[in-house]
Amino acid sequence: MKKHGMVLVVGIILLALSGMVAGCGKKEAGGDKLQAAIEAVAGEKTPENYLTLSLRYYEVKQFDKCIEAAQESIKLKSDFAPAYNNICAAYNEQKMWDKGIEACEKGLSINPDNQLMKNNLEWALGHKAGK
């Protein structure tokens, strides 16, 4: 029995080292992408760079920063629908359904065919209705 326990521990260590255990290495990779997005915005403040920064913050679950970066994007380009989608998704992750709905409705008024935004709006409406 002791030998089996040792094999299990060695197996887990090997899996962790190879990055196959859920979450291993993701924070580091996400951190690299986030750092690159921060540097891109520092180099050139464009709506697209802020949108990418917003997405990177979303990926590492920093939802308030995701919203702030998307809002910066909108300051530079008020009709930038993808930024409204990121705001909606971040509010939805925080269960702030009304704010998520508002952001998606604004984005859909700009780009009514954006399926991702429609899905995020449906997500918010469904949870608000208690589904």
Q: Classify domain 22-128 at the CATH topology level.
A: 1.25.40
Sign of torsion, CA 28 94 40 117? positive
The CA-atom distances, in angstroms, between 15 and each of 5, 29, 31, 118 are 15, 17, 21, 39
Q: Choose among 67, 36, 31: nearest CA to 51.
A: 67
Structure tokens at 125: 């409406």
Tell me the pTM. 0.76
pLDDT tens, position by position, 64-113: 999 999 999 999 999 999 999 999 999 999 999 999 999 999 999 999 99
pLDDT tens, position by position, 72-84: 999 999 999 999 9
pLDDT tens, position by position, 7-40: 333 333 333 333 333 333 344 456 799 999 999 9
